[in-house]
Chain A
Amino acid sequence: MDKEHALLTEEIRKASIRPILGAGRGFYILATILGLIVVAGGVAYVYQLMNGLTVTGLNDDVLWGFYLVDLVAIIGVGYGGAVVSAILRLTNSSWRAPITRLAEAMALVTLVIGAMFAIIHVGSPDRLFWLLISTNPNSPVLWDVLAISTYLMATVIFFYLPLIPDLAILGDRFGAEIGPWRRKLYSWLSLGWQGLPKQQQLLNWASNTMAILIIPVAVAVHSVLSFAFALTSREGWHSTIYAPYFVVAALFSGVALVILVVVAFRKVYHLEKQIGEKQIRYLSYLMIVLGAMYLYFTFSEFLTEGYVGTHGAVLTLETLLLGSDYSPLFWFFAIAGLVVPILIVAFPKTRTVRWITLAAALVVGAMWLKRFIIVVPPLRQGLFGAETLPYNASLVEAAITLAALAAIPLLLMLLSRIFPVLSVYEMEEVLEEESEHKPRLQMKEEDGQ
C-alpha cells in the first residue's frame, strides 16, 4: 500500500466517524427541536387513543386520510433507499460506495416510522392483533402487514451486513476515541471480523443474496399497498396500472429523499471529499428517469380513464384537473413535483448540488400531495349518489404527521451517533480497485508514448 492510498483510507475512516465524535451544539439544538415535535405528536396520539378516531377529520365517507397518506408515502421513500443500494450493488456501480450506508439507514428509519402508521391508522391498536388472530387471506390488509414485516426484516439484515467489517475496522482503529459502550457494541456486532477470505466470501454471498431478495420484496410491498386501493370497486382506485404506479412512485420519492439525506450529511459533517458532486448528480439522473416514468404512468392512466369516460372516472378526473378543491394540489404535484425537477436536472446550468437539492425537496413534498389526492378525492364520491362529507385533517392528525416527519431526521441523527455514516469497507475496496487500475493505466500511457 502506497502512502497516498494509506492517507486516503485514513481519511475515509476518520470521515465515517465524524458524526460520532463531533456532535456540536447545532446537533443538540436540532435534536431538541425535532424531539419536541416528536413528543407533541406522541401526546396527540395518546389523546387519540383516549378519545378514538373522532378526534381526527375522518368521517363515514372519507375514512382514509392523513394517516394512510403517511403510511404509503413514508414506506415509499424507504423503498428508494433500500432498492437503490441493492440495484447499485448488483450492478457493481463503484460510485455507490459513499452513499449506501446513508441510503440503507434512511430505508430502515422510514420503514419503521411508516409501519407505525398502520397501527395509528386503525385507531385502537388491538385491532391489529385481531387482524392477525382472525386472518382473512383474501384481504389485501393482511398481506400488507405480512409484506411490510418481511420488508422490515430484510431491511434490517441489509443494513447490518455491510456494517460488520466497518465496525471491526473502526473498533480497531478508534477504540479509545469512540468510548467503551460503542467499543463493546462494535466488538459484539462485528462477530470477530478479521477480513479473512472465507469471511469475505460469506459476507459477499449474504450481501448479494439480500440485495437480490430485497428488490422483489420491496416491489411486493408497494404492489400490495396499491391492492388495498385497486381491489376495491371505487372509481379512481380500481386501476390495473396501480401496482407499478405505486412502485415507481416509491422509487421516485425514495431517490429524492436519499439525495436530501446525502446532501444534508455531506454539508453538516463536511464529507465533500468522500461524497462528491458525482454521486449527487448520478442520483439526480436516477430521480428524473423515475420522474419521467411516473409522468408517463400518470398520463397513461388519465388518458385511458378519460377516453373511455365512464361516469365515475370522468368525475374523478374533473375533480383533479378542473377547478375543484383538489385541482391546485394536483397541478402543484404535476408542475412542481414532475416538470420542474426534470427541467432542473435536464439543464447543465442548474445541475448543481443546490438546484438538485431543491428538485429533490420538491419531489418529496409533491409526492406526499400526490398520495393525498390518490387517497381522499375518490372517497368524496358518494357511492349512493348523495353529497359526501368533506375531509379536513384535524390538529391531531397534523401533529402526528409532523412528528413522523421530524422523527425521520432525528432517528438518522441518532443512528449517525452510533454507526459510521460511510460504508468504510466498500469505499476501501473501491479505493484498492482504483489503485490497482492506476498503474496499469499509467503503463498503457507510457507504452503509447
Chain B
Amino acid sequence: MIYTRRTLVTLGVAMPLALVLSALLGWPTLADSPSAATEIVLTLEEHENSEGEEIVLASARLTDTAGQPLADRPLDFFLTVDFFGQLPVSLGTAVTNAIGEAALEYQPHQAGAHDFTVQFHGDEHYLASEAARTIDISEAGSAYHPEHIGLQAIGGWTLRGIGLAVLGLWMLMGLVVIRILWGIPNASSSGPR
C-alpha cells in the first residue's frame, strides 16, 4: 500500500485526537482492551445451618495469574440440573471482597452429586474465567417447608382417626355380610313359615 503525504498527515492528527477524545469520553481503545488472564478457585463445603438443614457453601477466589486477589468483581454461580437435558441454573451473583473472595449458600433438595460452576465474565482489564466442582450431598432437606406451629400433633391424630373410621366401616360391612349370610338361611330353617 502506498501512503500519500496527505494520508500520513491526516492519520498523524486524527490518531492523537482520537486518543484524547477516547480518554475524555471513555471510548474503548486498544490500550484498554483486557489482556490479563484470571483464575478462579472454587471451594464447596457441606454445612449444617442454624435450623439443622444441610447447606452447601460455595466460595470462589478470583485472582490474576500472579495470584493477586481481584476485589469488587461479580461472580455468577450456577448449578447444573437435569431438567429437559443438562442445564445450568443460576443460583445468584456475589461480588468479591478485598481478598478476592465471593460466596453464597445453596440448600440442596436432593441427595447425590451436585455440579457447581462459577463464572467471571471479564471486564476492561481482565479476561473471563470459570471453574467447576462437584460435591456429593449425602442428605438433603425438603423443598417444602411448612410452618412449625404445632399442627403436627393434630395431623398425626387426624390420620389415626381417619384410619380408625375406615377400619370401622370395613368392620360394619363385614357385620352386615355375616349377619345376612348366616341369618337369612338360619331364619328359613328355624322360623315360622
On A, residues with C-beta under 8 Å from B are: 60, 137-138, 143, 146, 150, 153-154, 157, 161, 164, 191-194, 196-199, 202-203, 205-206, 209-210, 213, 217, 384
Contact = CB atoms under 8 A, between A and B. Distances in A.
Interface residues of B, number: 24
A150 B187 CA distance: 29
A161 B180 contact: yes
A209 B176 contact: yes
Contacts of B192: 196-197
Given A153-B170, A202-B183, A205-B179, 16 more contacts: A143-B162, A153-B173, A191-B180, A191-B188, A194-B188, A194-B193, A196-B192, A197-B191, A198-B191, A199-B183, A199-B187, A199-B191, A202-B179, A203-B184, A206-B179, A210-B176
B191 A213 contact: no
B176 A206 contact: yes
A191 B186 CA distance: 9
B169 interface: yes
Contacts of A210: 173, 176
Contacts of A217: 169
B184 A164 contact: yes
Nearest to A60: B84
Interface in B170-184: 170, 172-173, 176-177, 179-181, 183-184
A198 B185 CA distance: 11
Given A157-B177, A191-B181, A210-B176, A202 B166 contact: no
A124 to B, nearest CB: 22
B159 interface: yes
Contact of B188 (A60, A150, A192, A205): A192
Contacts of A192: 184-185, 188-189
Binding site of A, secondary structure by majority: helix, strand, loop or mixed? helix
Contacts of A143: 162
- Report, nearest first, the 9 A-B pairs whose CB atoms are least far apart: A192-B188, A198-B187, A191-B184, A192-B185, A196-B191, A202-B183, A199-B187, A198-B191, A206-B176
B163 interface: yes
B168 to A, nearest CB: 10
Contacts of B177: 157
Query: Quick one: which of A150, A164, A202, A217 has the most chain B CB within 10 A?
Result: A202
Nearest to A153: B173
A150 B185 contact: no
A383 to B, nearest CB: 11
Given A137-B159, A192-B185, A202-B187, A164 B172 contact: no
Contacts of B188: 191-194, 196, 199
24 contacts: A60-B84, A143-B162, A146-B166, A150-B169, A154-B169, A154-B173, A157-B176, A161-B180, A164-B180, A191-B180, A191-B188, A193-B188, A194-B188, A196-B191, A196-B192, A197-B191, A202-B180, A202-B183, A202-B184, A206-B179, A206-B180, A210-B176, A213-B172, A213-B173
A205 B184 CA distance: 12
A147 to B, nearest CB: 8
A203 B172 contact: no
B91 to A, nearest CB: 14
A196 B169 CA distance: 29
Nearest to A61: B84
Contacts of A199: 183-184, 187-188, 191
A206 B182 CA distance: 13
A202 B159 CA distance: 34
B180 A150 contact: no
B42 to A, nearest CB: 25
A161 B177 CA distance: 9
A209 B172 contact: yes
A137 B183 CA distance: 37
Interface string B45-83: 000000000000000000000000000000000000001
B169 A213 contact: yes
Nearest to A201: B187
Nearest to A143: B162
Nearest to A209: B176
A22 B173 CA distance: 36
Interface in B26-41: none
Given A150-B170, A202-B183, A138 B176 contact: no
A149 B142 CA distance: 32
Nearest to B162: A143
B86 to A, nearest CB: 15
Contacts of B179: 202, 205-206
A203 B172 CA distance: 15
A192 B187 CA distance: 9
A191 B185 contact: yes
Contacts of A154: 169, 173
B76 to A, nearest CB: 19
A25 B169 CA distance: 44
A384 B87 CA distance: 13
A146 B173 CA distance: 15
A295 to B, nearest CB: 31
Nearest to B175: A209
A137 B163 contact: yes
Contacts of A191: 180-181, 184-185, 188
Nearest to B189: A192
B173 to A, nearest CB: 6
